Structure 1
Amino acid sequence: MAYTIEKGKKFIPADSGCFQYIGRIDSDDPKRPVMIWPGSYIDVDFTGTYAAVVLKNINFQEDTHFAVIVDGVMKKIFLPTDRQDNLYVAAEGLEDKQHTLRILKTLAAHNYLEFTGIVVDENASVTNPDHKYDMKLEVYGDSVSAGEVTEALYYEGQCDPADHRNKLDNSHFSYALSLARKLNAEVHDTAQGGIALLDGTGYFCSDQLTGMESCWDKLEYTPYADRKQWDFSKWIADAVIIAIGQNDANPEPERIRTPEYRRMWKDHYIKFLRGLMEKYPEAKFVLILTVLGHDRTWDDALEEITQEVNSDRVSHFMFRRNGNATNGHPRATEQEEMAGELYNYFKGTLGF
């Protein structure tokens, strides 16, 4: 154990029943649940003046971090690479009353977070908020859906800052989590930067390009560690957004214009879509690309897929500035723009 608990404080373990877990979280060991996908979070209410989080950072890259949100105020904490349990102060010197704490996984496969519990004042009360959500929303996507480079403020409409290297990523500001907050939805943000649909395409894991077709049904999914299947019976979505196609032009951008490759890509997409439709037999599915610059032919392919599937459960949505807003990752403001348009679509057209 690489930390000590001060006198006058107490430890609340992960399996105490005081925590509400949201996301595809590995709970096989309830004493050490693992946060894997971006936008996963843990909520807890506590009284007193102090709270700290105890977790292990299982890093696959440098410059990894997570965030704590205390009473609505966020603090991002950068993590060491020692792969030991460490204590991170979330807040201190608080007014002695009830507070809210959210522990947020800000990144995708840059790291996993193994949570062991929190430390609070010795006389504090700690309770599970047990928030009641109105629906369950799942998003399958890439770096935009994961919230990468969202914190590059004043870079709206511009390419990404040089050497940002994960530091400006934050899933909290993704359209996926923003939309979930607007809809009061429990969200699974099944998103990974650089990912395309097919293995051997896109940018995820450059030395062994891995596509969503190899990750969508996984709990632990990075090829740089042991992989584990996700049990879909644990959680049934009411609505699913699929935002795949942005990275699929790599490494041969013109292939999608050839009839043979286009047919093959659409067939794989339809197989992926139908697999999800079987897992979630009542859910509605929305196929999108985002405001990040891309070739319109990918939007056309999604429209073709929607028409071929021909189901009242599947629709194709395009943003007002679809593919035209920016050549860099959408910033928090641009993500919020997308979330607002999707919210109107979900409430108005889909009836949520």
Structure 2
Amino acid sequence: MKSTQSTTVSPLRAGALALLAAGLLHAGPALAGTAVAPSDKRLQYTGRIDFSRPSAPVLSWPGSAIAGNFTGSSLSVTLDDQNGKNYFNVFLDGDLTYPFVLEAFKGEKTYLVAQHLAPGRHSFLITKRTEGEEGATTVRGFELADGGQLLAPPPRPARRIEFFGDSITSGMGDEGADNGRDDRQKDKNNFMSYASIAARQLGAEAHVTSQSGIGLMISWFPFTMPDFYDQLSAVGDNDSKWDFSSWTPDVVVVNLFQNDAWLVDREHRLKPEPTPAQRIEAYRTFVARIRQLYPKAYIVCALGSMDATKADSPWPGYVTAAVERLRKEDGEKRIDTLFFDFTGYGQHPRIKQHQANAARLSAFIKGKMGW
């Protein structure tokens, strides 16, 4: 597949494609086709997917993906969306330059995402642009043109990276205008976040365990990352459990503390206010838990690129101190810090900032891992 390391997705183009998707939804395929069950082993799912009902897998985490190879002149997908707030990218034949942007309507709908394809072999990649706060989406099936066939799936990348983060990692507002809002679902595209871009640059499969607004000590809602990180479902704080033994990353990137910085130092919402030692311990405790789960992973303790890394911020120092404690007290060797510079831009990072951060992260990991 071609890389999108230096390619932005035009919000105007995305909007036009979303309207096209809506029109195709109502048009529907003209001929009866070849049905593909969502449990078909030739479909390749990536991410924390809920397969408790194999005939109805559920996607909720940002960056969750489905890939496949097929023959036939058209492709449709049937989705059952919880709230009608999710958006997906649909890439065809390895062209990652511009996605077909699918706006999922509430309930079960069939979406024609490709038609008039040339004879022969084709491929698709569907990725969840939005995150758990927009709700979950159940996959009900696919349909190929009459006579089309699903083929063997593409090979999985040999490398694996997991990201634990907040809105920056999710890609909140990354397709918004520089001088516009950055809180609209249609402008959220995890595929163009630094996390997903870096994973592609490194040739790695990624799991994105993130939630906008989340912190380690306090969030903009009642639960924190220590409550959330082990869930199978990303929809709120729930009792679902992810099986960590089912997928083990080579590298873990933790990018947290931005919301803590706002809520503790600016909003003063945590009473009593935690001391520097308590802030350091909160970070150390979470990373130590990740180490228990992944004994061999290389851990990157990152922060940024919003104002938690501005010149006078104490928060990078807390991360550094926590890592030093892990090295000295816990004998950690496969761990380091990486801080993304605050550029002075006051909103969520846009694609150009994500691209710069991804380049820095991928170069850092290459140097550490020899990739």
What is the TM-score normalised by the length of structure 2?
Answer: 0.84
- Structure 1 residue 64 and structure 2 residue 64: aligned? no
Alpha-carbon offset, residue 325 of structure 1: 4.6
Q: Are 2:36 and 1:12 equivalent residues in the alignment?
A: yes
Q: CA deviation at 1:324?
A: 2.7
Residue-by-residue CA offset, 1:77-103 (whole Å, 9 max, x unaligned): 11222x2x2101111111122111111
Rate the CA distance shift 1:327–1:146 in 2: closer, same or farther, 3 A. same
Match of 1:211 in 2: 224
Map 1:1-352 to 2 at 5 A: 7-59=31-83, 63-71=85-93, 72=95, 73-81=98-106, 83=107, 85-109=108-132, 110-153=134-177, 155=178, 161-162=180-181, 164-198=183-217, 201-203=218-220, 205=221, 209-223=222-236, 226-253=238-265, 261-294=275-308, 295=310, 296-310=313-327, 311-319=332-340, 322-352=341-371
Give the RMSD, CA atoms, in angstroms: 2.2
> CA 1:78–1:274 in 2, change beyond 3 Å: closer, same or farther?
same
More helix by share: 2
Question: Is contact 2:45–2:65 with CA below 8 Å preserved after alignment?
Answer: yes
Whole-angstrom CA distance in 1 between matches of 2:301 and 2:37 = 40
Q: Supply the distance in 1 between the matched residues of 2:294 and 2:85 (Cα, whole angstroms).
A: 36
What CA distance in whole angstroms lies between the structure 2 residues aligned with 1:92 and 1:56? 22
1:323 deviation in Å?
Answer: 2.2
When residues 333 and 69 of structure 1 are mapped into structure 2, their CA distance, relative to the original with a 3 A threshold, is same
Q: Are the equivalent residues in 1 in contact too, given 2:71–2:119 (CA < 8 A)?
A: yes
Contact 1:45–1:127 (CA<8 Å) still a contact in 2?
A: yes
Q: Supply the distance in 2 between the matched residues of 1:290 and 1:250 (Cα, whole angstroms).
A: 13
Aligned partners of 2:143 and 2:336: how far apart in 1?
46
- Whether contact under 8 Å (2:173, 2:182) holds in the other structure is no
Q: Is the CA contact (8 Å cut-off) linking 1:5 and 1:119 kept in structure 2?
A: no
The alpha carbon displacement at 1:259 in A equals 9.2
Give me the identity figure in percent. 26
Tell me how far apart the structure 1 counterparts of residues 279 and 339 of structure 2 sit (CA, whole Å): 20
Q: Which amino acid aligns with 2:64?
A: S
> Greater shift after overlay, 215-224 or 283-292?
215-224
- Partner Cα distance (2:319, 2:102) in 1: 38
Amino acid at match of 1:304: A
Aligned residues of 1:240 and 1:286 also touching (Cα < 8 A) = yes
In structure 2, distance between residues paired with 1:134 and 1:308: 32
In structure 2, what residue type is equivalent to 1:68? V
Paired residues, what number? 332
CA contact (8 A) 1:13 1:31 kept: yes
Letter in 1 for 2:232: L
| Distance (whole Å) between structure 2 residues aligned to residue 134 and residue 18 of structure 1 | 18
Q: For residues 178-202 of structure 1, what are the alpha-carbon distances to aligned partners after superposition, in whole Å with 9 as ceiling and x for unaligned?
A: 111111111101111111112xx22
CA distance in structure 2 between the partners assigned to 1:251 and 1:329 by the alignment: 16
Alpha-carbon separation, structure 2, partners of 1:29 and 1:128: 22
| CA-to-aligned-CA distance 1:300-331 (integer Å, 9 cap, x gap) | 11111111111211100123xx1235211111
- 8 Å contact kept, 1:63–1:165: no
Structure 1 CA distance for aligned equivalents of residues 144 and 203 of structure 2: 28
The answer to whether the Cα contact below 8 Å between 2:44 and 2:68 also exists between their aligned partners in 1 is yes
Q: Tell me the TM-score normalized by structure 1.
A: 0.88
CA drift of 1:227 comes to 3.3
CA contact (8 A) 1:48 1:97 kept: yes
Q: Which amino acid aligns with 1:143?
A: S
Paired letter, 1:43:
A
Question: Residue deviations 1:37-96, cap 9 Å, x none?
Answer: 10010100111210011111012xx64322211122411111222x2x210111111112
Determine the C-alpha separation between the residues in 1 that align with 2:344 and 2:363.
19
Say if 1:80 and 1:144 are closer, same or farther in 2 by CA, change over 3 A.
same
Q: Specify every segment of 5 or more residues in structure 2 that has no aligned partner in the other structure, as ranges.
A: 1-24
Shift of 1:15: 1.0
Question: What letter matches 1:213 in structure 2?
Answer: P
Secondary structure (helix, strand or coil) at the match of 1:178 reads helix
Letter in 1 for 2:230: D
